[in-house]
Structure 1
Amino acid sequence: MNHKKKNNHLSRKFGHRKSMLSNMSSSLIKKKKIFTTLAKAKALRQYIEPIITKSKINTTHSRRNIFSFLRDKIAVSELFKDSFNKVRKRSGGYTRIIKVGFRFGDMSKYSLIELVDFNDFYLVNKKNVIKSVRRSNRLKKK
């Protein structure tokens, strides 16, 4: 039976999977979005969300804990900068997975994983949004 086995092994052994997820998470923190397969993106989301939650507490202990997961000084320092204040205000759900299509080499499902607060496309000002006019108001006779 497969009870309490929630992580996807991704056809890799423990050491390879751990180093792959730490490399992908540090790349995601540095670049704010990366392209990967859908299965790796879902595994990465489970890996990185607790790390971002731990970064809300800016202490030496939390920095060392996060460094043990990421193993990248630049990514850890980036996670504690002022540019991540938007992320600290959010209560959860720091990443978004968007299905892009299929990879050409092996036709595997390809996706984009990004940090939610750093996408400028979804952060549109309300002044630029054009309101639609209801058709029934225009057709009424006065």
Structure 2
Amino acid sequence: MRHNKSGRKLNRNSSHRSAMFKNMARAVLIHETIRTTEAKAKELRGVVDGLITLALKNDLSARRQAYKVLGNHQLVKRLFDEVGPRYTGGNGGYTRIVKLSQPRVGDSAPMVIFELTKLAEQGAEVTAPKAEPKTEAAPAE
């Protein structure tokens, strides 16, 4: 019987699953939005929400626990300094799953976009300068 065994297996063994979710959590913190299957996204939600909850605690123990998942000091710093403070004063609702209309081509798996609800401000990114309209020179007489 399968009592008290939560979570999807996703046709992987436990070490492969944990490594996959660590990699996906890193990708979400770097890019803030990723494209994946619906089943993986629903399982990933618990991992990423747990990391953001740790970032809201903001103590040494929480940083060490986040490092166990992320394995990168720069990502832990970004999680605690940039991503975590966006969610202060809220209870949950850190991630969003948006279903895509087209399934994956190879196996028809339902695809989703997994993203953080509060994305980085768009004004912070460097934008390319707009091209100025060309003025025609007056013909010489």
**Alpha-carbon distance between aligned partners in 1 of 2:29 and 2:116, rounded to the nearest angstrom:** 8
Partner residue in 2 for 1:80 = 80
Residue 36, structure 1, aligned to residue 36, structure 2: yes
Structure 2, unaligned runs of 5 or more: 122-141
> How much does 1:83 deviate?
5.0
> How much does 1:105 deviate?
1.7
3-state DSSP of counterpart to 2:7: coil
Same amino acid, percent of matched pairs: 33
Q: Which has the higher mean CA deviation after the structures are superposed, 77-86 or 39-48?
A: 77-86
Q: How many residues align?
A: 121
Residue 14, structure 1, aligned to residue 14, structure 2: yes
Partner residue in 2 for 1:126 = none
Structure 1, unaligned runs of 5 or more: 121-142
The TM-score with structure 1 as length reference comes to 0.78
Report the aligned-residue RMSD: 1.8
**Alpha-carbon distance between aligned partners in 2 of 1:83 and 1:109, rounded to the nearest angstrom:** 28
Residue 110, structure 1, aligned to residue 108, structure 2: no
**Alpha-carbon distance between aligned partners in 1 of 2:42 and 2:82, rounded to the nearest angstrom:** 27
Over 6 Å off, 4+ runs: none
* Residue type at the aligned position of 2:119: F
Q: After superposition, what is the alpha-carbon deviation per residue over 1:10-63, rounded to whole angstroms, capped at 9, x for unaligned?
A: 111111110110010011011111000111101100222112111112222111
